[in-house]
Structure 1
Amino acid sequence: MSTIEAIFLGFVQGITEFLPVSSSGHLILAQYLLGMNNFKDLITFDLICHLGTLLALFIAFFKKIKTLLTSEKKVLHLLFIALLPLFPLVFFLKFIKAFFDHIEYLGYFFLFTAALMYLGVCFSKKTSSVIEMSKHTWKEALTIGFFQAMAVFPGISRSGATISAARLLGWNYEHAITFSFLLAIPTLMASIIVELGQLILKRDEYSLPAISWAQYLAGFLFSFLFGIIALHYLQKLASKRLFMYFIGYCLLVGMVTTLFFRNL
């Protein structure tokens, strides 16, 4: 891997992590286009890039996190409930990881993301009159958590799934987006811990690619930088019209990817 490739992958991770387009799917596509076909061997680099976007989340939502820890603990309870559907997935890691090695399925997951977001836009309930996020119910949080659990597969957007679920439940866009990205913090942390654990426990199954510390640093910095930029413009997603653009984008990527890999 060259430094330019590391910068490019960091850019892809940072810009797509928080937009409803699936960062995992785009990272696999980018690695494939760069000729990096053994995705399992890039797990360490991917972890470093995820640390960059996690830091971006902490900085962007620092004030909100501080408020949650002091005066909005009900929202913390909702976030914990939304995390519950992820725990059973630990027992299916081998099955889930298999999809990362079979890129021919990637296009179908992008199409699924487009369909899911379309439902969230066109079939959402009338926006509820709930003014405070803490007033939402634990059942709604759990439902959002089940939608998030689907995003363990590459090509299914975590933010697209959770925001769509919240909209289907009648949440306004501001609450849906804020809850989605607050939920991303413990989710990303858990993902990094699980991946690191897998790397340590099964280190004999992985071969570390020739990546220098400078390239790791480049991936981290660019994923962090463009993660901050993506989060800065995130609030512009808070409209049906702009969300439709991402639906169209995922639909296009899904169709092109499906056709391309089907003919290989």
Structure 2
Amino acid sequence: MSLFHLLLVAILQGLTEFLPVSSSAHLILLPSLTGMEDQGLAIDVAVHVGTLFAVVLYFRSDVALALRGIPRLLRGRTDTPGAKLAFLLGVATIPVVIAGFILAVTGLEERMRSIAVIGWTMLIFGVVLYWADQKGAEVRETGDWTLRDAVIMGLWQAVALIPGTSRSGATITGARLLGYRRPDAARLSMLMSIPTIVASGALLGIRVAHEGDWSMMRDASIAAAFAFVSALLALTLMMRLLQSVSFTPYVIYRVILGVVLLMIAYG
């Protein structure tokens, strides 16, 4: 795997993982539209690890709060902010774990990896994000997160397993419809990504171990490092822009890309 290809995959994953434009769709489209070879499971694991480190570093205070709450949660108590956050993050992760298992067992996961599917989901869920962003009130903050909200946003996250939907885009859509301010909607979405990335990364890691593909450790390390840097930059920029800008720029990008992909798929 060439260094250029490696850096392209890492930077593409890092830039799109936390933006509401679907990182998985871009990684599927890269070999489909350019003719490049698929990067393989080892690189997929590496870039996931890189983006995981980025979001943990950026939201380190929230992560530390949740970690401190886990011992109390294990005793069946959710009466502290940390225990409550850890509990709600766990609840929000359940739907995507169940849906992901079903897709993997039935084989639907592979059948949905097409340019046509990604084109439609880019377009449709881009419009839905715009509608939710314009319609949603801005009256709630991260501390207002409830069990009901976690379940609803968890279901949105499960829907995002359809390629092109965007995990962050779907969960932000759910949060905006629930009335969360844009920065808080993004913050909850990013925190929800941590257990989800851990789960998906662990699954990929098991598959890599099963296949015995350990020959790409150097490439994987490079990919993880560049994915970390690009993810941290993208995350920092988006969180700053959300203080004054809506999600409309991302919607415009999604609609344009969706239309182009549909033209390619049906043209």
TM range (shorter): 0.7 to 0.9
Which residue of structure 2 aligns with residue 116 of structure 1? 128
Which residue of structure 1 aligns with residue 75 of structure 2? none
Gaps of 5+ in 1: none
Which residue of structure 1 aligns with residue 168 of structure 2? 159
Letter in 2 for 1:35: G
**Are positions 1:72 and 2:82 aligned together?**
yes
Once the two structures are TM-superposed, the CA of residue 240 in structure 1 deviates from its matched residue by 7.6
For residues 240 and 262 of structure 1, the distance between their equivalents in structure 2, rounded to whole angstroms, comes to: 38
For residues 92 and 35 of structure 2, the distance between their equivalents in structure 1, rounded to whole angstroms, comes to: 37
Once the two structures are TM-superposed, the CA of residue 153 in structure 1 deviates from its matched residue by 1.9
Which residue of structure 1 aligns with residue 260 of structure 2? 256
Checking the alignment, whether the CA contact within 8 Å between 2:42 and 2:216 is kept in structure 1 is no
For residues 216 and 87 of structure 1, the distance between their equivalents in structure 2, rounded to whole angstroms, comes to: 25
For residues 241 and 62 of structure 1, the distance between their equivalents in structure 2, rounded to whole angstroms, comes to: 24
1:102-147 deviation line (CA, Å, top 9, x unaligned):
33322112112212211221221x333x45x343321111100100
Once the two structures are TM-superposed, the CA of residue 174 in structure 1 deviates from its matched residue by 2.5
Checking the alignment, whether the CA contact within 8 Å between 2:115 and 2:261 is kept in structure 1 is no
Which residue of structure 1 aligns with residue 76 of structure 2? none
Cα RMSD between the aligned structures?
Answer: 2.3
Which residue of structure 2 aligns with residue 245 of structure 1? 249
From 51, 72, 88, the equivalent of 1:53 is 51
Once the two structures are TM-superposed, the CA of residue 186 in structure 1 deviates from its matched residue by 0.4
For residues 167 and 175 of structure 2, the distance between their equivalents in structure 1, rounded to whole angstroms, comes to: 12
**Are positions 1:91 and 2:102 aligned together?**
yes
Letter in 1 for 2:10: G
Which residue of structure 1 aligns with residue 74 of structure 2? none
Once the two structures are TM-superposed, the CA of residue 250 in structure 1 deviates from its matched residue by 0.2
Gaps of 5+ in 2: 69-80
Once the two structures are TM-superposed, the CA of residue 61 in structure 1 deviates from its matched residue by 1.5
The 3 A distance-change label for structure 1 pair 98 and 36 is farther
> What's the TM-score, normalizing by structure 2?
0.86
Which residue of structure 1 aligns with residue 13 of structure 2? 13
The 3 A distance-change label for structure 1 pair 136 and 186 is same
From 115, 124, 128, the equivalent of 1:103 is 115
For residues 97 and 13 of structure 1, the distance between their equivalents in structure 2, rounded to whole angstroms, comes to: 19
For residues 125 and 241 of structure 2, the distance between their equivalents in structure 1, rounded to whole angstroms, comes to: 16
**Equivalences for 1:203-218 in 2 at 5 Å?**
203=211, 212-218=216-222
Once the two structures are TM-superposed, the CA of residue 99 in structure 1 deviates from its matched residue by 1.7
The 3 A distance-change label for structure 1 pair 110 and 99 is same
The 3 A distance-change label for structure 1 pair 240 and 246 is farther
The count of residues paired between Structure 1 and Structure 2 equals: 252
The 3 A distance-change label for structure 1 pair 254 and 239 is farther
Letter in 1 for 2:19: L
For residues 5 and 169 of structure 1, the distance between their equivalents in structure 2, rounded to whole angstroms, comes to: 40
The 3 A distance-change label for structure 1 pair 99 and 43 is farther
Letter in 2 for 1:85: P
From 186, 191, 197, the equivalent of 2:206 is 197
1:20-66 deviation line (CA, Å, top 9, x unaligned):
110011112223344136x4x72221111111111111211212211
For residues 54 and 62 of structure 1, the distance between their equivalents in structure 2, rounded to whole angstroms, comes to: 11
